[in-house]
Amino acid sequence: MSGAALVGYSGSSGSEDEESGGARAGPTAPRLPVPSSVLNMFRDQEEEVVDDSTKHGGRVRNFPHVRGNWTTYVYMPYEASEDFLELLELLISHARTYAVSLTAMEEFHISLSQSVVLRYHWITPFVQSLKQHLATAYRFFCTVDQVKVYTNQNKTRTFVGLEVSSGHPQLLELVSGVDRVMEEFDLPTFYKNPSFHISLAWCVGDLTDRLEGQCLQKLQETVDGFEDSAFLLRIQWEQIRCKSGNKLFSFPLRQLGPDFFRSSQLLQLPLASRNPP
């Protein structure tokens, strides 16, 4: 029994017979309404999507929505501070002087996968596999301080982002684990030689020519000259998330224990000091 069939069930009297000209055989017992718990039983198996680009700034979906398909991607979330948002406002203001109107991102993250499509019954095993492959990953720092311009694959949107300048090996290791999960489900892996970054703002269309050159130079100078930018843009990553339709899954990264720090300090000591009498 499908969710659509349940929702379509009506408790009214036989209007279908009246419209089709059918004759009633006699009085019938009234139909009982379907309990709401039954109506909602299968509702979460569908990702409710309305393709109307006018409702979200003219953005266009990279692939059409198909009932039963859930758009899915893996990423590391970043909770923006007030100082970070202040820097973002400065960048948007400077871009406006070069005739580019940018819209700030609603959320900030570093992507660890492409957007892929999962069938509903794949979600649970997909998430379980992610949990297994990411179980040994530790928290780490990276620096995002290089302004860069990006476009999506079909050139319908342009982004201004902050590219990672340190922490690249750790990110590649995480992507390797995510890619193995993608291969298990015959899904596209991440880009080769990826430019890890946090997208800050976007605009519709390909406006790369306007944003690069003098505009990009001005944006980079703004980042470099922002108060405490070196501290602000050095980020510790503590979790990985997977979003599939309206479902959100979190995978905390492991904390480095005291044994790790003791061994690190020991390695920094002169050889003669490592084994005291």
Q: Who contacts 149 (Cβ-Cβ below 8 Å, separation ≥6)?
A: 158, 159, 160, 161, 208, 211, 212, 216
Catalytic residue chosen out of the listed positions 56, 94, 168, 197: 197
Q: Who contacts 158 (Cβ-Cβ below 8 Å, separation ≥6)?
A: 149, 150, 151, 202, 203, 205, 206, 207, 208, 211
Residue 158: exposure state from Cβ atoms within 10 A (0-12, 13-18, ≥19): buried
Catalytic residue chosen out of the listed positions 109, 121, 133, 168: 109
Burial code (b: 16+ CB inside 10 Å, e: under 16) for 115-134 equals: bbbbebeebeebbebbeebb
65 is catalytic: no
197 is catalytic: yes
Residue with tokens 């470099």: 224
- Supply the residues annotated as catalytic: 109, 197
